[in-house]
Structure 1
Amino acid sequence: MKIGEKLLKVLNKKYPPSEFVAVRFERYDLAIKTDSDGDAVVLFIGKANQEGVVKGNRFSRVLVKDASGKVLKDHWDHKGKT
């Protein structure tokens, strides 16, 4: 599974810092873990069960910034099924 342009727009938004955020995207349920700046760093995409646990795929973000906050690296890695 690849992350498309529409989903990247959702993931590039700012969210509350250091939280898990549940979002609905088209036919998928998303669980997004954010860092201290409010950027998405972990993504679970699939279908949520009754407890809210998302079964599907897990992605991890490589986000490297310099001291001034300029983004040096930014890409998502597929980590497998969850």
Structure 2
Amino acid sequence: MALKEPVLKIVNKIYSPLSTIDLKFGRYDLRFTTDKVGRPTLLLIGRKNENDKIVGERYSRRLKIGPNGEVIKDHWDNQGKA
């Protein structure tokens, strides 16, 4: 399952650096971790269980940054079940 445009709008924003963010998106729960700049790098999307863990899909972000700080490549890879 590839990430759709509404989810990409959420994960393309800048958040607080080096943190874990929990959001509700429709009927799904989102949890992502951010890098030192504040860009989400690991995304879990699914439903929270009774232990507050997300059961669903896991995605990791591939970022290639140029020498001037510009983003050359930005891609989300499905890593399987979470």
Q: TM-score, normalization: structure 1? A: 0.94
After superposition, the C-alpha distances for 1:49-70 in whole angstroms (9 at most, x for unaligned) are 2332111000000011112111
- State how 1:1-82 maps to structure 2 within 5 Å: 1-82=1-82
CA displacement, residues 18-50 of structure 1 (integer Å, 9 cap, x when unaligned): 111001111100001100000000000000123
What's the secondary structure of 2:68's corresponding residue? coil
Q: What amino acid does structure 2 have at the position aligned with 1:44? A: L
Q: CA RMSD in A?
A: 0.9
Task: Write the distance in 2 (CA, Å) between the matches of 1:8 and 1:51.
Answer: 27
**Which structure 2 residue ranges, 5 or more long, are not aligned?**
none
Identity of aligned residues (%): 41
Unaligned runs of 5+ in 1: none
- What letter corresponds to residue 51 of structure 2 in structure 1? E
Between Structure 1 and Structure 2, how many residues are aligned?
Answer: 82
TM-score, structure 2 normalization: 0.94
